[in-house]
Amino acid sequence: MALQYELVNATKRERLSLSTLPGRTKHDIAGNPAAAAIVAWYMMEHPRDRITFVTDDIADTHPAWPLRGATRAELERYRDVTVDVITTLVAAGILEERGRGFVETSDRGRVIVRDLRNVWNGTPQTVETP
pLDDT digits (tens, 9 = 90+) for 93-124: 999 988 665 555 555 555 556 788 889 887 76
Give the structural domain span for 35.
5-118
Does 123 reside within a domain? Answer: no
- pLDDT attached to residue 22: 67
pLDDT digits (tens, 9 = 90+) for 8-65: 999 999 999 877 776 678 888 899 899 999 999 999 999 999 999 998 888 888 888 8
DSSP string, 89-117: HHHTTSEEEEEEEEEEEETTEEEEEEEEE
Distance CA 17, CA 83 (A): 9
Q: How many domains does the chain have?
A: 1
What is the sign of the dihedral through the CA atoms of 101, 38, 29 and 119?
A: positive
Burial class (CB in 10 A: 0-12, 13-18, 19+), 85: buried
- pLDDT attached to residue 111: 56
Q: What is the pTM of this model?
A: 0.80
Measured between alpha carbons, how far apart are the two ends of the chain, in Å? 35
Does 21 reside within a domain? Answer: yes
Does 78 reside within a domain? Answer: yes
Does 81 reside within a domain? Answer: yes
